[in-house]
Chain A
Amino acid sequence: MAGVQAVFYREMLMLIRRIGGLGYLFSGLLFPMIYLLAFGWGLGESVAVAGGYIAYLAKGMLAITVMMNAFQQTALSVSAARFYYRTFAVLRLSPIHDGAIVLGIALAGTVRALIAAAVVFIAAKLFFGIAILTGPGVLGLVLTAFAFAAFGVAVGLSIKGQEQFSIVINFFITPMTFFCGSFFPITNLPSVVQPIVRFLPLSLTNQLLQATSFVGEAGIAALALVFFMLVIYLYSTYRVHNYSEF
């Protein structure tokens, strides 16, 4: 546990320094805020969903913000620490368990993503006057943040160059952004693809954000998200264990 604290402390110190630069926080927020404002103002009246489209969209933007910030910033940070700053070796050399390294970095990524989500939440409240969070929603955001931060560790350690990062973004992150129920309900998709999309991690987050209790599908979504999180955590630990400077 001391190892996790040490890694988390180090990552948070580095985050505080980076967050001091204004661009760092706002670059992560720009994307969801543009979508929220553009789709909210442009389509708000014409899309019919229970509870109103803007409230629906705001929840979707929260899910996207958490996913993007947790994954992208963690993956970039880990890969830059490998390729450019060579600082990942400092962690790898220290006598702490591989799982503790992943846990420490992923927890810091979770904090970073939740800070960004808090800003989107405040913006949604300010611009549209909507309160959008429930108990399942908060749990969904925390689990999603951790899972994608751990995924960021795995990707940051797996890619052979920064250019490969765009492959992961194009094949995993972008499709999830648009198909997983952030902009419109999954039921609008063709029935053939619905069963696949329903169990993608971001769909599970959106299900939890739209739910008011853990009864029924929301409970299954929470369990599926926990399962996904554990699988990713174990894979990231495996990647740390097999870390090589070659």
Chain B
Amino acid sequence: MSVLVEQVTCSRHGQAILYNVSLQIKTGEVLGLLGPNGAGKTTLIRLLAGLARPDSGRIRVFGEDASRRSVTFRSLIGLVPQENTLESELTIEQSMLCTAKLYGIVDARARMEEVCQQFQIGSWRKKYPVKLSGGMKRRAMIARAMLSRPEFLLLDEPSVGLDPDMRQEIWQAVRKLQAMGKTVLLTTHLWKRRRNFVTGLLFCERERSFIRGQPRGYVNRFRQSRRLAWKMPSWRWRLKGGEPGDGRRPSGLLP
């Protein structure tokens, strides 16, 4: 078992974000984290990355306590957060080299070249983030997270701001990680596109509980749960493959 979350409760300004959450992630698993806005997906990601501490409960990643944030723990984690975290004063190349140095990678430049090739980061690596599109920045952030070869990769909405082709590239990269035996937890609304390689799903409900199952099981669950779909109309439309108000007829997963 690579990740163990035991009875974790986390609150902010007196309001519970996660309540008594327990879950397990096996080594090599690619787990999708689904749920409406405010359900606690990003909070869970931050807790797993050690960027926040729970009020109670315990999180262990490959046996390391996340709350202690040891150097060993941090060397296991790779995080691609929702927001852009590329340094505005550094070019993509400088940012990657700095990150490689921070992770103590011996041949930093060679590793950077390898990762840039893998994620097709070409001449634009010499540019500052302000000159790049959202998709390019996203790709650079994923590549940067991959520099240290993390055992557990957390991707928070990795496909945000990407065009369909780029999205496919991101999912291909996740597939590669899966083939390498890495453990991946990713949040996204567009789960249909990645369901053929995601090994399990976690659904965060508004009641702050996390339910685990196989993708097909969730389709069935949603079919039976009109109430849930009614409460989250925009999300339901995304599951159907369209956007709210884009004129596309509902088809596919939901009745």
Interface residues of A, Cβ cutoff 8 Å to B? 2-3, 5-7, 9-10, 13-14, 17-18, 85-87, 89-97, 241, 243-246
Contacts and interface: CB of A to CB of B under 8 A. Distances in A.
Contact of A6 (B12, B75, B101): B101
A246 B52 contact: yes
A2 B49 CA distance: 23
A94 B94 contact: no
Contacts of A91: 102
Chain A interface helix/strand/loop/mixed: helix
Chain B interface helix/strand/loop/mixed: loop
A76 B74 CA distance: 26
A89 B85 contact: yes
A94 B51 contact: no
B102 A13 contact: no
Given A89-B81, A95-B103, 9 more contacts: A3-B104, A5-B101, A14-B87, A86-B83, A90-B99, A93-B50, A94-B74, A94-B99, A246-B46
B140 to A, nearest CB: 12
Interface in B202-239: none
B90 interface: yes
B84 to A, nearest CB: 7
A192 to B, nearest CB: 43
Contacts of B53: 244
B77 interface: yes
A176 to B, nearest CB: 30
A85 B50 CA distance: 19
Given A85-B85, A89-B79, A13 B90 contact: yes
Contacts of B79: 89, 93
A3 B12 CA distance: 32
B52 A90 contact: no
Name which of B71, B77, B148 has the most chain A CB atoms within 10 A of its CB. Answer: B71
Given A17-B89, A86-B83, A95 B75 contact: yes
Contacts of A6: 98, 101-102, 104
Contacts of A9: 98, 101
Give me the 10 closest cross-chain CB pairs, A-B, nearest first: A94-B102, A17-B89, A6-B101, A95-B75, A14-B89, A10-B98, A95-B74, A245-B51, A95-B71, A6-B102
A95 to B, nearest CB: 4
A17 B90 CA distance: 8
B85 A244 contact: no
Nearest to B141: A90
Name which of B51, B74, B75, B81 has the most chain A CB atoms within 10 A of its CB. Answer: B51
Contacts of B118: none
Interface string B88-123: 111000100011011110000000000000000000
Nearest to B69: A241
